[in-house]
Structure 1
Amino acid sequence: MASIRILTILVYVIAVPHGIDSRENDYIDSDPIVAAPSPWPVGTYGLLMPTDGCPSTSIYFYTGQRKFDTEDSDPNNNWSSPCHLGGWYGKNNMELQFCIKTVLDVNENAWPAGEYCIFRFGGSCPYGMSEGRVGWDDEDSDNENSHGGTLPDGVYDSNTHIDFCCQTSGSASASINLPTNDNFMLFQYNQYQCQEVDGMRATSEWFRWDTEDRNNEDYDTGSHPYKGVEDDNDDIKLHFCYYERI
């Protein structure tokens, strides 16, 4: 009688605690997105949440949000048309929403060479990516900044400081392979174009934060999304790319 052998495969994952306030390390309630197969590249990191919501994947994305209290006097936040950012935004104040991948699966592929940025999460960038930070000098008077859920690495108090990871070792015009099951967003690193992704149509979009007018202390450092601080050292403008299936 032929013997039957059963092969057991063990998959090891390293989990970074979710629901952590990056400023105070206090746990905050956060519900995971229901998952479906379509693994993203290796590492713990964050993506911008588009109007479609977070991507489906075999690894959970947790959600979070940051309210920016922008300049109250003659407020002038501005954005591209179209703009697929999740959350809400207006001339005065806006909310940015995040999709945070908190689990490191050893079976995942590395992030491919190219020119794009994502949020840092878990204290370091995925292999091959460079770190940077952007700092927003938010409204000084009656500041109403707030946050919740799972956030990118950074500091979230009366001002906002967010850490980024950027891939700079390739060309934006050389197409890369990423999951195509869902629409998603990457930050634009190349000044002139979005990173090309196989099977996806990219739309370049942007948002400009009208930050504090008095004694403004906006800054950017290291590798960060284009453009960062505006040329007049007052206001932050970031470019991002919305990807949808062709």
Structure 2
Amino acid sequence: MLKPSSGCPVDVAENWLEGYRKEYGKGTYNYSTPLDLFGEFTEEYMKFFFCVHKSVKNSSLIPRYQTYWEPGRYCIIRSNGTCPNGFKSGYAQMDDSDNKVNLLQNGGILPDGYFANDTGLYFCCRDDGLVTNDIVLPRKNPFVLYMATGETKCQAVKGMTSSIQYLVFNDDKSGNRVITNGTLPTIKIENNNTMLFLCHYKPVECEITGCTDKDGEDVHPSSEHTKNCVTKNNVQYTVHFLTVVGCSVESKCKLVGEEWSVLRAEGCVRQVCQMQIVNNTEKFLVKDISQGCDWKGVCKPENSTWTDDENCVDYRCKKLTLGGGTVVRTETLSYGCKWNGKCKSADVAWSEDCLSRKCVVVVNETHVQRQVMSTVEGCQTVGSSDCHAIDSNWTETQNNSCTRLTCTQNGQALRTKVLERLCQDSEKKCHPVGASGFQAEIQGMVRTNCSCLAREAGVMVQCPG
């Protein structure tokens, strides 16, 4: 494996041999930040070191240092000429600069590969398991694996946390001799550059009460913990990163595609959580999608309209072009009148208690005048909300008598006029003066053969007996 910055395993140092390769390309080298590898990594050249595991003769050490490789999706660097069972071999060769062959250097024990005028490495890869299923490897020291072809995540390893890092080999531009064949890890080749992705692992620090993950979060055994949109759990003192679900915004998690509003000094903006793939890693980013107007702490989208029910004013969020840019402003569309707790639009009439009412609004440069104007439109029945139009007739009953009325107009004044008074029988029917032979209720008793008589104050029902 490539030698981590922490060094090769040291428990049984004689089982690990070290070597190095110094190579020059035709241009500028690039590296991830951080890059947890031991060596020299400059823009002009890279000198990287290897930890090569030799064959173990002491059978008591085999279970520990000649690990049984479990199914998964990952790659290792080949040594001793063959791949372990379950792996397939592949080869990748970078084209070093022809002008700096005399500067290329090798030292120590190297893995399987080509280390002459160019640099080539043999890999062993497997694709027979899930990348999210833990495999067991020695976990006392940091180490390096590689992602299987097309993979964007590091293989889960029990008791370890991982980070994706990369090296960019700057290949010779003339007569490019980049060679790839077989089954390889995730490698990107473009613009005469070979980008090799690696997974750096380091042990999880565990205590009886729980584990501390790479972010410094304590996750108790057999529990789940969610912070900053990442859900983790701890099973047998191994912290697993279960899901990354979105963008962390003010200690709250916004799902991918979720939209929300943010207030700013110049108004407000509508934002959305988006997921992008950057260097084969999922990145969750907050993007502005539109401007808006701040209205009492609420973000109103541009071109939207709303009503201030407390003051009966209609507004619109309007987009303007100023100084080569765009801004949004809240503009007033119209005013209304408050009546019985509700807003009435200007110049819209409504009827109420025989009155026609209308909201009248006058706007000038200095102030806004609003008032409700009322016009009588009919005659109202006493003790009722019934309204009768001008020149209409109707009958009202009270105390065994009936009164026929009409609504008359004199100039702007309306008056209710009595047309006729009548007598009421026991069935609530009305009879004119002079009528007889009907039943009427007198002092709680129904009498027969009653008559309707005229009196100065009105009418009277008279029954024999």
* Both proteins in one fold, TM over 0.5: yes
Residue 28 of structure 2 corresponds to residue 76 of structure 1 = yes
For residues 38 and 73 of structure 2, the distance between their equivalents in structure 1, rounded to whole angstroms, comes to 23
For residues 142 and 82 of structure 1, the distance between their equivalents in structure 2, rounded to whole angstroms, comes to 28
**Per-residue deviation, 1:173:** 1.2
**Per-residue deviation, 1:167:** 2.1
Aligned-residue RMSD, C-alpha: 1.6
For residues 231 and 159 of structure 1, the distance between their equivalents in structure 2, rounded to whole angstroms, comes to 18
For residues 35 and 197 of structure 2, the distance between their equivalents in structure 1, rounded to whole angstroms, comes to 11
**Which whole-Å deviations, capped at 9, do the CAs of 1:202-231 have from their partners, x for residues lacking one?**
000001011101121112111122115x14
- The residue aligned with 2:373 is none
**Per-residue deviation, 1:56:** 3.1
- The residue aligned with 1:191 is 151
* Secondary structure in 2 matching 1:53: coil
Residue 109 of structure 2 corresponds to residue 150 of structure 1 = yes
- The residue aligned with 1:112 is 70
* 1:214 alignment partner AA: S
* Kept after mapping to 1: 8 A contact 2:24/2:100: no
* Kept after mapping to 2: 8 A contact 1:191/1:227: no
**Per-residue deviation, 1:104:** 4.1
* 1:186 alignment partner AA: L
Residue 12 of structure 2 corresponds to residue 53 of structure 1 = no
Residue 89 of structure 2 corresponds to residue 131 of structure 1 = yes
- The residue aligned with 1:218 is 178
For residues 131 and 104 of structure 2, the distance between their equivalents in structure 1, rounded to whole angstroms, comes to 34
Cα pair distance change 1:115/1:56, threshold 3 Å: farther
* 1:110 alignment partner AA: Y
* Kept after mapping to 2: 8 A contact 1:117/1:225: yes
- The residue aligned with 1:208 is 168
Residue 19 of structure 2 corresponds to residue 64 of structure 1 = yes
For residues 187 and 113 of structure 2, the distance between their equivalents in structure 1, rounded to whole angstroms, comes to 19
For residues 199 and 219 of structure 1, the distance between their equivalents in structure 2, rounded to whole angstroms, comes to 36
**Which whole-Å deviations, capped at 9, do the CAs of 1:150-193 have from their partners, x for residues lacking one?**
10111211111211111221121111111111111112225311
Residue 129 of structure 2 corresponds to residue 175 of structure 1 = no
* Kept after mapping to 2: 8 A contact 1:208/1:235: yes
* Secondary structure in 2 matching 1:88: strand
* Kept after mapping to 1: 8 A contact 2:15/2:56: no
For residues 97 and 151 of structure 2, the distance between their equivalents in structure 1, rounded to whole angstroms, comes to 28
The structure with higher relative contact order (CA 8 Å, sep 6+) is 1
For residues 163 and 173 of structure 1, the distance between their equivalents in structure 2, rounded to whole angstroms, comes to 25
Residue 125 of structure 2 corresponds to residue 166 of structure 1 = yes
* 1:89 alignment partner AA: F
Number of corresponding residues: 195
* Secondary structure in 2 matching 1:141: helix
- The residue aligned with 2:215 is none
TM-score, normalising length from structure 1?
0.75
* Secondary structure in 2 matching 1:103: coil
Q: Which runs of 5+ in 2 are unaligned?
A: 205-465
* 1:53 alignment partner AA: G
- The residue aligned with 2:39 is 87
Q: Which runs of 5+ in 1 are unaligned?
A: 1-46
Mark the structure with the bigger radius of gyration. 2
What is the identity percentage for the equivalent residue pairs of Structure 1 and Structure 2?
29
TM-score, normalising length from structure 2?
0.40
For residues 125 and 9 of structure 2, the distance between their equivalents in structure 1, rounded to whole angstroms, comes to 20
* 1:91 alignment partner AA: E
* Kept after mapping to 2: 8 A contact 1:138/1:212: yes
Q: Structure 1 or 2: larger strand share?
A: 2
For residues 196 and 53 of structure 1, the distance between their equivalents in structure 2, rounded to whole angstroms, comes to 22
For residues 124 and 196 of structure 2, the distance between their equivalents in structure 1, rounded to whole angstroms, comes to 14
**Per-residue deviation, 1:64:** 0.4
**Which whole-Å deviations, capped at 9, do the CAs of 1:63-93 have from their partners, x for residues lacking one?**
000011111xxx2211111111111111111
For residues 49 and 154 of structure 1, the distance between their equivalents in structure 2, rounded to whole angstroms, comes to 16
The more displaced of 235-244 and 96-105 is 96-105
**Which whole-Å deviations, capped at 9, do the CAs of 1:81-132 have from their partners, x for residues lacking one?**
1111111111111011100001145643421111111111111111111100
* Secondary structure in 2 matching 1:97: strand
The more displaced of 50-59 and 213-222 is 50-59
* Kept after mapping to 2: 8 A contact 1:52/1:183: yes
For residues 47 and 129 of structure 2, the distance between their equivalents in structure 1, rounded to whole angstroms, comes to 32
* Kept after mapping to 2: 8 A contact 1:132/1:223: yes
For residues 9 and 22 of structure 2, the distance between their equivalents in structure 1, rounded to whole angstroms, comes to 22
* Kept after mapping to 2: 8 A contact 1:218/1:235: no
